């Protein structure tokens, strides 16, 4: 068993009382492993019919499943590469689950990497509205981009900024915000013993000040009537209930909303604070000796709208979560004229680079043909209204114009659709986002050995004389592309950086 700091043990004794020994005993048990299905791609009922693993349900979300690593290896199954689920610590599924997100809303995940919560928020949007997923670290945000692409979340912007910089660009902009704040990590001591050393170096007091600052910036970005979840993976009262109490006192139009109590949930502990607000009992705590997950804390908060500020009360305010329409984005099918106007720009070779002219320019016929192919392909996609743009030789669909994002570091905006060379080369992210709209395909069963050959980057030899680009799917779900030469040989176009190594 790891050696726990004496001060920490004293805090846990005060928090748990006679359950403290049960908590210590949990360190001798193996942490639980789980995954959450991606309802952007597959429904809960469809998954129950397809589930190839030995699993048990996670009690606090219908989308979560426990598995045993000695029985199942979901990270090596083709469904993982199709983005049908995300492997995630079970307690970490709670924050995104309790945030009520509806299609068409504007949603911010402020501390998003590596993407477990962001992919669930994106799944709730169902391709409508906007997800901004942020992490202050550029390197961590790259993992976030990959996981959103795997999940088929195309209506997203990934940024790598400090919260105060985002607040300057998005004042009062978001319907829903998730703040899974950096913390002292007490709830992860069993899974990651190295967190103990970090606790000794910084501790709860350091993180509490960081959390207050982040929450203040999140408040500025939340619309009146909007909802926010604040969560940590620590037990510390100083970082949990005390931070929430400070927030409620600092911002009088914020309130705590009750959430449905699930198996394994424990309530907040306002009784251990001086003059603790009673509504803090609605916070959710997870203890590893009482639930099958690591330590976690979460609370659902709501900003009052004008009616609530006139005295309609907390219960009335918290019952008002419902879709608010399109929020000014106009998330309808992209008009054919917009696609036609974009594809009217021929590519012209200039100084070794390809540029999109402001007006139609003369170019070699092969590039004119590429634009015709692009237009034909785009018209088949269920793209909502947005912005088509060309950067060098890549075509992007972007939910937010880049000029609206000036002043912040943007790692990804929307989805890369294709690369234009002599022909159209469709992108990996497109295969994962719109597989049901792409007709030329080669479908394999999950147990077909060709699936793993494809995921390892091998050329496929098939009984087919197809030529051109084909979408490779597993049980109907997109994986990537291959290119047939008309003789039964299909060149592998799966993204090299994602290939299976085992």
The β-bridge relationship of strands 130-134 and 106-109 is: parallel
Closest CA to 85 of 156, 141, 151, 153: 151
Which residues, including other chains, have CB under 8 Å from residue 342's CB and lie 6 or more apart? 388
Catalytic residue among 9, 111, 183, 233: 233
Where are the strands (E) in 162-265, listed by range?
Answer: 174-180, 222-232, 254-257
| CA distances to 130, 314, 315, 327 from 107, in Å | 6, 22, 23, 11
Instruction: Tell whether omega for the bond before 218 is within 30 degrees of 0, i.e. cis.
Output: no
Q: What is the CA radius of gyration of the chain?
A: 25
Task: Look at the block and give the residue holding tokens 């049908």.
Answer: 84
Residue 244 to residues 270, 274, 298, 329, Cα–Cα distance (Å): 10, 13, 10, 32
Strand, coil or helix: what is 281?
helix
Inter-CA distances, 90 with 56, 83, 289, Å? 12, 18, 14
Six token digits for residue 415: 């989805």
Instruction: Please give the backbone phi and psi of residue 378, each rounded to the nearest 5 degrees, phi first.
Output: -65, -35
- Sheet of 424-426, strand order: 387-391, 394-398, 415-420, 424-426
For residues 23 and 489, give the distance between their C-alpha atoms in angstroms, rounded to a whole number: 58
Contact in structure between 31 and 68 (CB atoms under 8 Å)? no
**If we measure between CA atoms, which residue out of 485, 447, 444 comes closest to residue 465?**
485
Angle between helices 138-150 and 116-125 (to 10 degrees): 40
CA distances for 194 relative to 23, 162, 197, 261, angstroms: 19, 26, 6, 32
Residue 87 structure tokens = 């492997």
Q: Quick check: is 482 catalytic?
A: no
Nearest to 249 by CA among 214, 276, 282, 269: 276
Stretch (H or E) spanning 49: helix 44-50
- Catalytic positions are 233
């Amino acid at each position: 068993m790891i050696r726990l700091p004496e001060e920490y043990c004293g805090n846990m004794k005060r928090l748990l009382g006679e359950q403290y020994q049960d908590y210590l005993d949990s360190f001798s048990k193996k942490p639980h492993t789980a995954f959450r299905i991606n309802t952007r791609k597959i429904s809960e009922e469809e998954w129950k019919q397809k589930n190839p693993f030995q699993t048990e349900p996670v009690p606090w979300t219908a989308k979560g499943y426990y598995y045993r690593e000695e029985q199942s290896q979901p990270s090596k199954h083709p469904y993982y590469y199709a983005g049908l689920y995300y492997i995630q610590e079970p307690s970490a599924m709670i924050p995104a689950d309790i945030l009520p997100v509806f299609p068409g809303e504007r949603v911010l995940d402020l501390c998003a990497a590596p993407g477990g919560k962001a992919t669930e928020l994106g799944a709730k949007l169902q391709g409508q509205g906007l997800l901004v997923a942020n992490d202050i670290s550029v390197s961590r945000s790259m993992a976030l981009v990959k996981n959103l692409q795997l999940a088929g979340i195309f209506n997203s912007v990934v940024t790598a900024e400090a919260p105060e910089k985002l607040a300057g660009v998005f004042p009062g902009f978001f319907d829903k915000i998730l703040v899974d704040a950096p913390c002292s990590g007490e709830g992860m001591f069993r899974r990651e013993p190295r967190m103990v050393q970090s606790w000794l170096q910084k501790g709860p007091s350091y993180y509490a000040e960081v959390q207050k600052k982040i929450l203040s910036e999140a408040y500025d970005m939340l619309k009146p009537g909007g909802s926010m979840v604040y969560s940590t993976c620590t037990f510390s009262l100083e970082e949990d209930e005390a931070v929430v109490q400070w927030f409620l006192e600092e911002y009088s139009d914020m309130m705590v909303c009750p959430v449905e109590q699930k198996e394994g949930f424990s309530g907040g502990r306002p009784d251990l604070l001086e003059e603790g607000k009673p509504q803090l009992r609605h916070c959710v705590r997870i203890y590893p000796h009482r639930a099958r997950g690591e330590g976690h804390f979460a609370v659902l908060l709501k900003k009052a709208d004008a009616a609530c500020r006139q005295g309609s009360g907390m219960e009335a305010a918290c019952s008002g979560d419902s879709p608010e329409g399109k929020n000014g984005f106009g998330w309808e099918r992209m008009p054919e004229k917009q696609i036609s106007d974009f594809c009217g720009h021929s590519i012209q070779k200039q100084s070794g680079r390809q540029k999109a002219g402001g007006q139609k320019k003369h170019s070699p016929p092969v590039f004119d043909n590429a634009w015709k192919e692009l237009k034909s392909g785009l018209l088949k996609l269920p793209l909502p209204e947005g912005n088509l743009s060309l950067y060098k030789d890549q075509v992007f669909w972007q939910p937010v114009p880049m000029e609206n994002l000036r002043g912040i570091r943007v790692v990804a905006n929307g989805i890369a659709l294709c690369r234009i060379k002599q022909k159209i080369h469709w992108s990996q992210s497109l295969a994962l986002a719109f597989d049901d709209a792409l007709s030329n395909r080669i479908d394999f069963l999950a147990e077909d050995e060709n699936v793993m050959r494809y995921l390892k980057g091998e050329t496929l030899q098939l009984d087919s004389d197809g030529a051109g680009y084909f979408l490779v799917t597993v049980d109907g779900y997109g994986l990537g592309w291959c290119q047939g030469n008309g003789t039964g040989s299909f060149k592998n176009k799966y993204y090299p950086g994602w290939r299976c190594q085992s």
